[in-house]
Amino acid sequence: MNPARAGRPVSLAILLLALLAGFPPAARADALRDTGIGSGARALGLGEGGAAAGTGAESLFWTPAGIAGAAGPEFLLSHTSWVQDLAHEAGAAVFPLGELGVLGVSGSWQTFSGVEERDAGGNLVRTFSLTTGSGSVAFARPLGSHLAAGLSAGFQIQNGVGINRHAVPLGLGFAADSGDLRAAVSAQGLLVPSPLYQASAAWRVKSGELGLSLTGGVLLRRNENRAGAGVEAEAGGILHLRAGYLLPFGETDLGGFSNLTVGVGVAYRTLGIDYAFLPLGDLGQVHRVQLSLRMPARAPAPPPDPAPAAP
């Protein structure tokens, strides 16, 4: 593998992981430690352009401010089939705490199998697997009728060993919402070598049973700088069709439709199922399936009946 090629920005962190197969184990471990591939089927289907402006449990993987408006508990499970036998699993939960704010917890783990270690002569020494995981706790609350803020703290492990370099990964985000337009900025992974900075916006318009959303934004992280844009069409609040485009700030050499993403979502009452697809040229394809449950807000208890008046 050409070492210079490994330093080029790529459209997704998974491409970096796939290219790492030819590096020494120590180099692979460092890159795996510093690389986050995100989560969320809706975000991927929209080209990740509106990730920072997302809301609900899925936003926990991008910005803690996104959960500030949750009215009831939310739960999410996600499975991603990546190239090079890499599987990525994720889960998240959101719990409103009334006037105090909203609490969220999330976790993810990925397994990269078939990693080959070779000696100086190119002879195979061993084949092994790498497993990395992360978890975080987030808290968010509105700062008025149109502004919200969130803070998160978490950990990272690789093969059961902490890899935070004695620092706790922190996240900070702010979101402004004016009804049809939502904009947000966030920083994830503060105090670790490769933080992720985001700025994005989402605009939504609805007429009767039909809705249309446009998203766009920028994600900045070492070797992963990119912009993204997406569009989502909604019918009756049930069917959601999505398409997006990833624009890496550098060459990828993947060709074809490797930067185009598509997705579909179906929602029925409190249950949602989402799917996203991303082609990566000769490297293969990325499939993400997500199941979410959004519980209704708890109705306030009725006031007690007034005591009957004394005769």
Residue 299 domain flag: no
pLDDT of residue 56: 93
- Cβ 129 vs Cβ 115: under 8 Å: yes
- Cβ 117 vs Cβ 96: under 8 Å: no
- Cβ 112 vs Cβ 130: under 8 Å: yes
Structure tokens at 288: 């993400």
pLDDT of residue 27: 33
Residue 307 domain flag: no
Structure tokens at 227: 């912009």
Residue 58 domain flag: yes
Local structure of 160: helix, strand or coil: coil
Please give the tally of structural domains in the chain: 1
pTM to 2 decimals? Answer: 0.79
Q: Which residue has the tokens 């004016």?
A: 178
Residue 310 domain flag: no
The CA angle 213-35-137, to the nearest 5 degrees, is 70
Beta bridge partners of 277: 262, 287
**pLDDT tens digits for the chain (311 residues)?**
443 333 333 333 333 333 333 333 333 333 333 333 568 899 999 999 888 889 999 999 999 999 999 999 999 999 998 766 678 899 999 999 999 999 999 999 887 777 777 888 888 888 777 788 889 999 999 998 899 999 999 988 877 666 665 577 899 999 999 989 999 999 988 887 788 899 999 999 999 899 999 999 999 988 788 999 999 999 998 999 999 998 888 766 665 567 899 999 999 999 999 999 988 777 778 899 999 999 987 665 566 666 665 66
Helix extents (H) in the chain? 3-6, 13-19, 25-34, 41-45
Residue 300 domain flag: no
The Cα–Cα gap between 288 and 304 comes to: 49
Residue 305 domain flag: no
Local structure of 205: helix, strand or coil: strand
Range of the domain at 204: 3-160+167-294
The Cα–Cα gap between 94 and 251 comes to: 38
| CATH code where residue 227 lies | 2.40.160.60
Q: What is the DSSP letter of 56?
A: S
pLDDT of residue 47: 92
Query: Residues 6 or more apart from 281 whose CB is under 8 A from it?
Result: 254, 255, 256, 258
Residue 308 domain flag: no
Residue 311 domain flag: no
